[in-house]
Chain A
Amino acid sequence: MSREHQKYRAPDALDHTRELLGKLAREVSVSDWHLVIEVRPDDLPEVALRLRDDETLSCKYISCIIGVDYVDWMEALYLLRSQEHAIPVRLRVRLDRERPEIPSVTYIWSGANWHEREAYDFFGIRFIGHPDLRRILTREDYDTHPMKKDAWPHRVRRTEWRWEDIERPKRLPGETDRRDRS
């Protein structure tokens, strides 16, 4: 084990977290030197508040919110960190893919605001109670949530295109194209 792994004390916090969250957490484990806590969407605000205000964990810093589309279900991942005790925490919330809805945690961490907007933009996850849930990186009238795996059905076969198949503009006789040489 390298020193990097020893410095983090996620295993120490495991029992404490189980005690703190009780039945709120579906599962608490240590994986990839993160403390991974799996919760139901409805329990998220309560768990988040307890993690933030707890003396030992005190996850005051929110790193980011990650949406993942697993085709059968969707997932929202909250990367938190306890700055004082150097414990990285992953809050894992499994969502229904047809109706991805989850309570917003903007009032718990102000930084969550834009990360939630991004997850909404890319995956269409609805954060209930978010003050301003709009698209953030793509344009406002975009008709799809681009990071979903079925977002662009017409482009799925894209990798099968070949250079010869692509229609190119006609060239004048004698005119050469640098790309032809390869």
Chain B
Amino acid sequence: MSTVESKNDAVNPGSPVNQDGPAKPSFHLEEMILNMGPQHPSTHGVLRLVLHLDGELVVSVEPVLGYLHRGFEKLAESRTYLQYMAMISRLDYLSGFFMEWGYVRSIEALMGVRAPKRAEYIRVIIGELNRIMSHHVAIGDFMLNLGAVTPFFWVFRDREDAMDLVEMVTGQRMMYNYLRVGGVRWDLPDEFEAGCRKFIKEFPAKIDEYEELISDNEIFISRTLGMGIIKPYEALDYGISGPNARASGIDWDLRREVGYSVYPEFDFDVPLGQHGDCFDRYKCRIEEMRQSVRIIEQALDSICGGPVNIKLPPMIRPPAGEAYRAVETPRGEFGVYIVSNGGLRPWRLKLRDPTFSAISMIPKLTAGNKIADLVAIVGSLDLLMGGVDR
């Protein structure tokens, strides 16, 4: 109570404490607690940030998770492997294809089977289209957080083209349920190749458009340059992966290092940033879209014929054992760890999501910045709560 009284005294010049000298103007140095989210538009879903503020300065941030918790890992234990396939793309709904891919790779590793070559090419093509779509949203949302509405509409306009292609193949726009253990569900339709070639021919010009609109924008540059710097050792320490880590100069891409699927056949660069600030993270995503276009082009050129599926019994029973396989999603390393006891259902299934690690870094990144910069930093990390809360 005593602190409260003395503060009241400070603003009331007539109080006994201040009788000795003239009243000085004073400010409350009281910490204010502000809840940002879980329904805040710039928190990308249902992330709640409890901000401790000193005026406009952020003293400390506490992320609160769990508003989208659906018990994915527990539900897996009561479902067969194929039943769970329909759920897994709901996990990180903007890059659902990669969720399926990681899951399928783990089961394939457990069972010791491999998908036919053509199926792997199809996976790469759809996967890279999905990466482009996810980066579209990442960039659009980031700009929306900074108050720029136009890029949001531009990226969503172009995202529609990629979505049409994916819909043509999988029948769905977001929740694909297209992969199967040992292949894909069905072959590419005949008109896909022409449509995809048209898309990759037109798309690089559109990336240039974004760059003209965003990268050269003075307001954007001044708000993101040098903001929210992740140092390389910090990125490793916190387990950050994907474009967020590559923007800090960590030269690590599972597509190249592990070389799963048919990625070793393709020639592509891994874009790296230098400073690890918000601008570099945005720039890395832009460059990754260009590399995705390159990969799709090479995959379309080298795709071979043949079956897209291997014959497996309808109820698969992987042998007892454990496997961890990871894929490089647009947000980083997504891994699935499966423990099988030889039954119809997994004994334990763990989903390692890259965004979970990225969010754990928010308190360190944002402390000492202003609220408006916090929004920029949170936007640049490309968070998606679907994968975090599981």
Chain A residues packing against B (C-beta within 8 Å): 2-4, 7-8, 32, 34, 60-64, 66, 68-69, 77, 79, 83, 86, 88, 90, 109-111, 113-115, 118, 122, 135-139, 146-147, 158-159
Contact = CB atoms under 8 A, between A and B. Distances in A.
B335 interface: yes
Nearest to A61: B236
A146 B74 contact: yes
B69 A64 contact: no
Contact of A4 (B66, B252, B260, B352): B260
Contacts of B326: 63
Contacts of A8: 258
A149 B382 CA distance: 35
- Interface majority SS (helix, strand, loop, mixed), chain A: mixed
13 contacts: A4-B260, A32-B323, A32-B324, A62-B239, A77-B337, A83-B236, A109-B239, A110-B234, A113-B360, A114-B356, A114-B359, A136-B66, A147-B73
Given A63-B239, A111-B357, A139-B66, A68 B352 contact: no
B187 to A, nearest CB: 24
A137 B259 contact: no
Given A63-B352, A64-B239, A137-B69, A86 B257 contact: yes
Given A83-B250, A147-B74, A3 B236 contact: no
Contacts of A66: 337, 348, 350
Given A32-B323, A136-B65, A79 B335 contact: yes
A68 B339 contact: yes
Given A32-B109, A64-B350, A111-B237, A3 B264 contact: yes
Interface string B346-359: 01101010001101
B322 interface: yes
Contacts of A68: 339, 347-348, 350
Interface in B176-213: none
A122 B264 CA distance: 38
Interface size class of B (residues with CB under 8 A): 35 or more
A53 B60 CA distance: 30
Nearest to A60: B236
Contact of A137 (B65, B257, B333, B335): B65
Given A69-B348, A135-B66, 12 more contacts: A32-B324, A61-B239, A63-B335, A64-B352, A79-B335, A79-B337, A111-B237, A111-B240, A114-B359, A138-B66, A146-B71, A147-B74
B153 interface: no
Interface in B243-258: 250, 252, 257-258
Contacts of B73: 122, 147
Contacts of A136: 65-66
A7 B71 CA distance: 35
Contacts of B69: 137-138
B259 A3 contact: yes
B230 to A, nearest CB: 12
Interface in B321-377: 321-324, 326, 333, 335, 337, 339, 347-348, 350, 352, 356-357, 359-360, 364
A121 to B, nearest CB: 9
A20 to B, nearest CB: 20
B277 interface: no
A32 to B, nearest CB: 6
B78 interface: yes
A7 B357 contact: no
